[in-house]
A and B are shown apart, each in its own frame.
Chain A
Amino acid sequence: MEVMDQLPHRFPFLMVDRVLERVPGVRVRALKLVSHTEPFLQGHLPGRPVVPGVLLLEMLAQAGAFLEAEPLGDTPIFLAQVLEARFRRPAFPGDALDLEVVPEASFGGLQRLQGTVRCGDEVLCTARLLLKKGSPLEVAP
């Protein structure tokens, strides 16, 4: 599957480069390569480039879109809640980030997942996120 078929995100906010492993509803592993040319590194921080922690969460959320079995088409996925997040070490230019997401529970378009960002054997970030399919403003049930 093409990354851009599943995610509506585009430059500079598409944060999944390749899907490494995809078992819908069970587990997804995706790759994000960090380079010196990332727009956000220009200001974060001058002379000391570090990927902002919140963007690691965004990467996990985007990887989460590949847990869906069906192409998302016009139904994007939004980050609805960050339940837990821990940043153990920052990500730097040159890091190949291995994004792993595993679902914990789901109901009616909501999916709670456990995410881990690794670089090699090192765990950079662990988080639990809630994703919502559809409009972020929709009120249901």
Chain B
Amino acid sequence: MSDLKHAVKEMIIQRLKLEGMTPDQIDDQAPLFGDGLGLDSIDALELVLGIEQTFGVKIEDEAAGMKAFRNVESLAAYIAEHKPTA
């Protein structure tokens, strides 16, 4: 799970071009949007595409997004739960 969280952080940094940021600087529990990481609503689409392309997990609608996008921990949990089984 901690590997997955690390991968999620790397994906966020890469997709949203958070230059100069490292995965270690992102707290598992810090809110992604608003205070915390400071993402805004227009970052949501980029995040949805990043999750789909990196982890093969689709975020179906806004309700699922709201649940998954709370913080890195909830996002990793969502991905683990919906990941296609190999």
Contact (Cβ within 8 A) B65 A107 = yes
Q: How many residues of A contact B (CB 8 A)?
A: 15
A89: min CB distance to chain B, Å:
30
Range of interface residues on B (Cβ < 8 Å): 10 to 19
Query: A1 on the interface (CB 8 Å rule)?
Result: no
How many Å lie between the Cα of A130 and that of B69 in the bound state?
20
When chains A and B are docked, how far (Å) is the Cα of A47 from the Cα of B34? 48
| Dominant secondary structure of chain A at its interface with chain B | strand
Known contacts A107-B65, A108-B65, A141-B69: A130-B41 contact under CB 8 Å:
no
Assess whether B40 is in contact with A110, with CB atoms less than 8 Å apart. no
Say yes or no for B49: interface residue by CB 8 A criterion.
yes
- Residue pair B44, A139 in contact (C-beta under 8 Å): no
Total cross-chain contacts (CB, 8 A): 43
A130 smallest CB distance to B (angstroms):
6
Give the residue name and chain of the B residue nearest to A112 (CB): B45
Taking A139-B34, A139-B40 as contacts, is the C-beta distance between A105 and B69 under 8 angstroms?
no
List the 10 closest pairs (A to B, CB-CB), nearest first: A108-B62, A110-B45, A140-B41, A107-B48, A141-B66, A107-B45, A80-B42, A141-B65, A141-B69, A105-B49
